[in-house]
Amino acid sequence: MTAGLYAGRAMLKTVVLERGAPGGELLNTEMIEDYPGFERVEGWDLAQKFAEHANKFGANIQNANVETVRRLPDGTFETRTDNGDLYHSPTVIVTAGGTPIKLNVPGEAEYAGKGVSYCAVCDGAFFKGHVLAVVGGGDAACEEADYLTRYGTKVYLIHRRDEFRASKIVQKRVFENPKIEVIWNTVVDEIHADEQGLVDRLALRNVVTGVESTLAATGIFVFVGFKPNTGIITDHVEHDATGYLNTDWNMQTSIPGLFAAGDVRVQLTRQVTTAVGDATTAAVAAEKYLTALRKDKTR
């Protein structure tokens, strides 16, 4: 939304291709408390404000799922959507975010939507009065475990290590919440369901002792990380070992004219504020890139 806003302000013809409702990960976050100017704001509300603001400055937001972005021989880009629409442009800013990483254990795929979830805000209300499990040790896992205590009678936070990666303030909320019990040094080996096909227990294993156990839980929420959605770029582009895009200070990738912002790029932290900053830089840099192209063509 920020990239679209700044590109629109620069009087550039701007199309924002969004596969769902505008807002990305904001839509999966109930309450945001670290965006300047908003002590507390619901993710959905902030996303709507972003979209309205971008629209005001001329960004054309289209509901479309991008399948490929490729650079043509003339240096321009062709962006293809899943319904066959093609968009040709001299620059592209990739802000595709990421996809939740799966546990890849038996039962996970089979019982997705039947007790297995990757979004506490989306599905938490369905588990009122249930015993729940959250898997992970970062900010997302700890925040969602805390959030789920408003619905679950008990929330087990399962982490494969003996300490969290989450920020200290988030950890503090977990440790102070009487409804949360942390299970350290443990992984989920299998997800089981009852005769109706609904999750009812988890097979656990302590990675230090090797001891196996069973946890009675009717919901499991997986937050073990995200995989950047960079596979849409068909050309070779420099990235790190986990697939996040390398960019320069202008947010430009190794492909001239291809910029990246937010969760798809290599950086220390991935927050709303950093995504907004990335996108601001990317849009301004894209405008300067286009200005330089026009000057080259008039020489």
Q: Give 79-109 pLDDT, tens digit per residue.
A: 999 999 999 999 999 999 988 899 999 999 9
Residue 201: predicted pLDDT: 97
**pLDDT above 80 (res 28):** no
- Which of 178, 199, 222 is a domain's end point? 222
Q: What SS3 state is found at 63? A: strand
User: Is there a single domain that holds both residue 230 and residue 94?
Assistant: yes
Alpha helix positions (H), the chain: 2-9, 43-56, 120-123, 139-148, 168-176, 272-298
Which residues, 6 or more positions from 40, have their beta carbon under 8 angstroms from its beta carbon? 31, 32, 33
User: Is there a single domain that holds both residue 184 and residue 158?
Assistant: yes
User: Is there a single domain that holds both residue 161 and residue 207?
Assistant: yes
* Long-range contacts of residues 274-279, Cβ cutoff 8 Å, at least 24 apart: 275/2, 275/95, 276/2, 278/251, 279/1, 279/2, 279/3, 279/6, 279/93, 279/95
236 phi, psi to nearest 5 deg: -70, 130
Q: Rounded to whole angstroms, how far apart are CA atoms 67 and 48?
A: 25
* Length, in residues, of the chain: 299
Which residues, 6 or more positions from 131, have their beta carbon under 8 angstroms from its beta carbon? 152, 153, 154, 155, 156, 216, 217, 218, 219
Each residue's pLDDT tens digit, 148-176: 999 999 999 999 999 999 999 999 999 99
Residue 100: predicted pLDDT: 86
Q: Rounded to whole angstroms, how far apart are CA atoms 88 and 271?
A: 30
User: Is there a single domain that holds both residue 22 and residue 62?
Assistant: yes
Residue 243: predicted pLDDT: 92
Q: Rounded to whole angstroms, how far apart are CA atoms 158 and 180?
A: 10
User: Is there a single domain that holds both residue 189 and residue 239?
Assistant: no
Joined together, the tokens standing for residue 246 give: 């390398």
Residue that wins the pLDDT comparison between 137 and 226: 137
* Range 44-63 average pLDDT: 94
Residue 24: predicted pLDDT: 85
- Which of 222, 257, 288 is a domain's end point? 222
Lowest mean pLDDT of 21-35, 158-172, 181-195, 229-243, name the range.
21-35
- Which of 222, 247, 279 is a domain's end point? 222
pLDDT band at 277 (very low <50, low <70, confident <90, very high): very high
Q: Rounded to whole angstroms, how far apart are CA atoms 164 and 246?
A: 27
Q: How many domains does the chain have?
A: 2
Each residue's pLDDT tens digit, 179-212: 999 999 999 999 999 999 999 999 999 999 999 9
* Range 253-273 average pLDDT: 93
Q: Rounded to whole angstroms, how far apart are CA atoms 217 and 150?
A: 16
Q: Whole-angstrom distance between the N-terminal and C-terminal Cα of the chain?
A: 35
User: Is there a single domain that holds both residue 207 and residue 276?
Assistant: no
pLDDT band at 297 (very low <50, low <70, confident <90, very high): confident
User: Is there a single domain that holds both residue 116 and residue 149?
Assistant: yes
Q: Rounded to whole angstroms, how far apart are CA atoms 153 and 268?
A: 35
Known catalytic residues are 119, 122-123
Cβ contact 198:115 at 8 Å = yes
Q: Average per-residue pLDDT in the chain?
A: 94
Q: How far is CA 274 from each of CA 83, 277, 279, rounded to the nearest angstrom?
A: 32, 5, 8
Sheet containing 77-81: give its strands across: 66-71, 77-81, 86-89
pLDDT band at 214 (very low <50, low <70, confident <90, very high): very high
Read off the CATH number of the domain in which 264 is found: 3.50.50.60
Q: Rounded to whole angstroms, how far apart are CA atoms 119 and 175?
A: 22
Residue that wins the pLDDT comparison between 20 and 54: 54
Sheet containing 199-206: give its strands across: 186-193, 199-206, 212-216
Q: Domain limits at 67?
A: 2-98+226-298
User: Is there a single domain that holds both residue 173 and residue 271?
Assistant: no
Residue that wins the pLDDT comparison between 7 and 242: 7
Residue 27: predicted pLDDT: 82
CA-based R_g, the chain, Å: 21
pLDDT band at 15 (very low <50, low <70, confident <90, very high): very high
User: Is there a single domain that holds both residue 230 and residue 213?
Assistant: no
Cβ contact 183:204 at 8 Å = yes
User: Is there a single domain that holds both residue 64 and residue 131?
Assistant: no
Q: Which helix (H) or strand (E) holds 17?
A: strand 15-18
